[in-house]
Structure 1
């Protein structure tokens, strides 16, 4: 532009930043807005576009085309934009991408195409020319698979987001991508992790496979993930794991196995996880944890064992406890006998765990473990006993019924005395009580007059409650 010819001579006097700003705004598409702060950004989101603009500013470093009605990307759809670093096409109606659609974007670093529900197919050459791509987002589309060689040019790719699609297996295209650090594959339909699914991913630090249908993990499936730090396997269908499932994951800091169908925990699973800080085993069906399971977890800070079927947790299973900062044990049917006395003492000493409701024995059912008092005989703990609830209930019912029979008799006798005090006429027509039968009978010479309506109602209320001894006992005590 700055050629110093008369028509543009004034541009030669502008600072470089002002000149770039002018150039960015000058070529801005009609339905977009362009800003020049640190670099030229083109904002075309929410513009109801059905087709791409014919041209974009050559200086554009970021283009936002989110939430439009774009359906088709032709070859070299964006022309040549050597400065473009970020391109966002989220929330459109894209159904077909012509091979080579992104040619001319040689320096593109981030490409976002999430939430395009009509994208069900990608050609092997879809991303041709994007040799510097670092982050690719294909989340919430309708992809069932992607070609194995689709990322042949994307050797710099570090983050791949493909969650909420329809993959039934881990895409083979990621195999051997040694620069990948983050993979998001949650909420797909993946059924298994094969021994070769994750080969060659030596730089991977984050792997999310949660909310799939994984029920099988092959032995040594994670052997190449030597730098993995965060691993999500929760909310799948796992009922068992290979004996050395996580062997070699020496840098793992967080492992989530919650929401599966595991019934036991093997001591071999976590033997290499010396840097693990957070472990989720919640929402499984755990009945048994093998002794020594946690002995190598010397960096463990938080352990989630809540919402399982655990009844006991012997101390040898649980070592080492002194590293923990948080322990979650609620929603388990705990049997609060002497095998948990150590846990109660640990709770009181460190105050790092609470909410351990007892399910048995019946004498402490409903109490929190912290409220249970363990008896001692010659210094030895004695388990809380079981209550004989059937015998106790019978005795309470029998005693209560006798007491209420007595109460009814007293009420009626008091009524009789009051009626007699009212005169001869009341005595002639009064109600008599047969003391042996405990029944009411009308006096001779006319229909029974009976006690007052208020007391008659009381009588029937008491009689009706005789079938509920617990309520009667509470009434008697008051």
Structure 2
């Protein structure tokens, strides 16, 4: 028997490494799961109705998918020792408690996904003990209100943290000082403010998403350490104002989204350092005024969104430094199409890069698109389209009507005179004139008003 075991082992050693790995992966595949060996051993247990974890996984497993099961509890060392495991997915389960040390034995795990577990409301400080090589962690759409400040003390390699759609009222203090973080997703939480120390020492951060929170206060130095930030989402919050130098130092920022807030004015100090910004969203605010010089340093700007605000004018001095940007969105504003927008019409016609600028005033052009407005010039100077004067217009109509009746009456009288002239008597002619006038007074009430100027 011992000789037979030695023979089998010798045969296995002669097999190609890929064949050996495929055999080992399939041999230890858990019931209700399937195991594949393409580039590495993958264990697929998703949608298997599992209420508990399998007792054993293939030692060679590089990826395990346990999505959409009924798992509720993760005990200590729940997965045993899997030195080859790189990716573990536990999305869409019913996990409510994770024992500290549950992931011990997964020393080389790079990605851990636990999103869409609505019963996870608490994490212990030692939840992720042993995951020293973790790069990506997804805790989105759970029920977390906070996470311990020291929970990531071992995760110095962490680069991507996804915590959107939870119940955080502040930015988790656990992320402070994580110098390797490049992406943070905190959208759709209940965050109310960004403090001066909320984002300290995040010098590698390139992507920050804080959209759809309740942020109404931002400290002036809140973003001072985000020197490599490229994409920043602050849209759909409750911001009515921003610190004077809110974005100071963000010289590598490419996209800034401030849409869907309550801003009424735009200060020229906000964007003074954003020399590499290519896309700027200021749409869906309540903007009434943009300070001259606001865009003067945005030399890389390609697209500007100003639609859905309360802007009535956009003077050329405000816009001049970015006259050659690629896209400008201005629709859904109550534009006053006077001479201050003549330059914009010319720009529309010359570059064909902006359209849909409906005029709200003056009333003579209301409802027209700016492209349809004709600006007249007197001595080379633009003259604003006039407001319609209804009183003047009515007077002009009445005057025109009166003139027409005068003409009609004159023609009638002249015809009568010509007929009577044929009879050759002056007295009969005068009698006919009086009779005609009397007839017109009785048969045409409006004529009664018109006779006075004719002195009849």
Instruction: Give the TM-score normalised by structure 2.
Output: 0.85
Q: Is the 8 A contact 1:412 1:433 kept in 2?
A: no
Distance in 2 (alpha carbons) for counterparts of 1:27 and 1:211: 46
Q: Distance in 1 between matches of 2:300 and 2:322?
A: 11
Aligned counterparts of 2:433 and 2:86: Cα–Cα separation in 1:
104
Give distance in 2, aligned partners of 1:104 and 1:458. Answer: 109
- Decide whether the 8 Å contact of 1:115 with 1:141 is kept in 2: yes
Report deviation, 1:329. Answer: 0.5
Offset at residue 389 of structure 1 (A): 3.4
Q: For the residues of structure 1 that align with 2:86 and 2:197, how far apart are their CA atoms? A: 33
Aligned partner of residue 429 in structure 1, secondary structure:
helix
CA distance in 2, matches of 1:18, 1:475: 115
Q: 2:195 matched to 1:217?
A: no
Shift of the 383–429 alpha-carbon distance from structure 1 to 2, 3 Å rule, reads closer
Q: 1:474 to 1:21 in 2, by over 3 A?
A: farther
Equivalent residue number for residue 448 of structure 1: none
Q: Whole-Å Cα distance in 1 between the matches of residues 375 and 156 of structure 2?
A: 64
Contact between 2:301 and 2:322, CA under 8 Å: does it hold in 1?
no
**Residues 226-278 of structure 1 deviation map (CA, whole Å, 9 limit, x = unaligned):** 00000000000000000000000000000000000000000000000000000
CA contact (8 A) 1:300 1:323 kept: no
Inter-partner Cα distance in structure 2 for 1:335 and 1:306: 15
Q: CA deviation at 1:348?
A: 1.0
Q: 1:402 to 1:205 in 2, by over 3 A?
A: same
- 1:422 deviates by 38
Normalised to the residue count of structure 1, the TM-score between the two structures is: 0.81
The Cα offsets for residues 350-399 of structure 1, whole Å up to 9 and x where unpaired, read as 11111111000000001111111101000000000001236646987999
* CA drift at 1:62: 0.0
Flag the 1:81–1:376 CA change in 2: closer, same or farther, 3 A. Answer: same
Gaps of 5+ in 1: 1-8, 435-453, 460-471
Contact kept? 1:24, 1:57, Cα under 8 Å: yes
Three-state SS of the structure 1 residue aligned to 2:166 is: coil
Query: Does structure 1 conserve the Cα–Cα contact (< 8 Å) formed by 2:268 and 2:295?
Result: yes
Moved beyond 3 Å, runs of 4+: 389-434, 454-459, 472-478
Q: 1:72 and 1:423 mapped to 2: Cα distance?
A: 125
Over 3 Å counting, the alpha-carbon distance change for 1:81 and 1:338 in structure 2 is same
Measure the CA separation in 2 of the matches of 1:60 and 1:403: 99
Distance 1:34 1:391, change over 3 A: same
Partner Cα separation in structure 2 for residue 107 and residue 424 of structure 1: 128
Aligned length in residues: 439
Q: 1:280 to 1:404 in 2, by over 3 A?
A: farther
Equivalent positions of 1:349-388 (< 5 A) are 349-388=350-389
List per-residue Cα deviations over 1:212-231 (Å, max 9, x = no partner): 00000011100000000000
Flag the 1:428–1:253 CA change in 2: closer, same or farther, 3 A. same
Contact 2:251-2:275 at 8 Å conserved across structures: yes
SS at 2:397's partner residue? Answer: helix
CA contact (8 A) 1:167 1:188 kept: yes
**SS of residue in 2 equivalent to 1:397:** helix
Alpha carbons of structure 1 residues 232 and 418: separation in structure 2 relative to 1, 3 Å: farther
Q: Give the superposition deviation at 1:346.
A: 1.0
RMSD: 7.3
Change (3 A) 1:264 1:429: same
For the residues of structure 2 that align with 1:345 and 1:214, how far apart are their CA atoms? 40
C-alpha change, 1:392 and 1:59, in structure 2 (3 Å) is: same
1:43-102 Cα offsets, whole Å, 9 max, x none, are: 000001000000000000000000000000000000000000000000000000000000
**Does the aligned pair in 2 maintain the 1:93–1:116 contact within 8 Å?**
yes
1:412 aligns with 413
Mark the CA change 1:232 to 1:415 in structure 2 (over 3 Å): closer, same or farther.
farther
Is the alpha carbon distance of 1:149 and 1:134 closer, same or farther for their aligned partners in structure 2, counting shifts above 3 Å?
same
Compared with structure 1, are the counterparts of its residues 131 and 361 closer, same or farther at alpha carbon in structure 2 (3 Å cutoff)? same
* Residue 280 (1) aligns with residue 258 (2): no
Q: Secondary structure at the match of 2:280?
A: strand
- 1:302, 1:327 within 8 Å by CA — same for their partners in 2? yes
Superposition map of 1:51-62 within 5 A: 51-62=52-63
Q: Offset at 1:477?
A: 33
Question: CA distance change for structure 1 residues 357 and 122 in 2, over 3 Å: closer, same or farther?
Answer: same
**Pair 1:430–1:475, CA change in 2 (3 A):** closer
Contact 2:126 2:151 (C-alpha < 8 Å) held by counterparts: yes
Q: Is the 8 A contact 1:419 1:426 kept in 2?
A: no
State the shift of 1:322 in Å. 3.4
What is the alpha-carbon distance in structure 2 between the residues aligned to residue 458 and residue 411 of structure 1? 15
Deviation at 1:320, TM superposition (A): 1.4
